[in-house]
Amino acid sequence: MTKSTMRTVWVRVQEAFRDKGLPHTQKAVAQFLNIKQGSISDWNKPGKGIRLEHAQAIGKRTGVCVEWLYTERGPKYAGPPEDALGARLWKLWPKLSDTARLEAYDAANAALIREGFQKAAPSESSSKAAENANPR
């Protein structure tokens, strides 16, 4: 993301509350955190921070990861997906070898490409295979 397209902490907080069907106004969030609304106004400014205890409270209330609130990196939600198939894959993932994980990634990526959701992105295994086939 470029600096001009970066989303502020406040935008992510609103999204987290909205996703859970909770009131997502500055007034509502300020009341939830027991702070002044003016403190939240600062979150709407690029580079302004949110206190850790507030981010943790928001994460606990909405289920979003604190890292995501701060940086918009990492998973938005911790834990297994809510859909049944995603939850089953979540449980299987730690048991898979690295090779099996790469095969699963390649299969999922191919399905997204077939369905028109994304362009081809080579997996680590595809990249390594290409390197081995074309040594310098």
- Residue 132, pLDDT > 80, answer no
- Closest by Cα among 33, 84, 82 to 58: 33
pLDDT band at 73 (very low <50, low <70, confident <90, very high): confident
Pair 47, 92 in one domain: no
Asked whether the predicted pLDDT for residue 42 surpasses 80, the reply is yes
**Tokens standing for 118?**
């994304």
Q: Is residue 79 part of a domain?
A: no
Q: Is residue 114 part of a domain?
A: yes
Same domain (yes/no): 64, 91: no
Do 66 and 118 sit in the same domain of this protein? Answer: no
Judge if 67 and 91 occupy the same domain: no
Considering 23, 46, 71, which residue would you say is the last residue of a domain? Answer: 71
The count of structural domains within the chain is 2
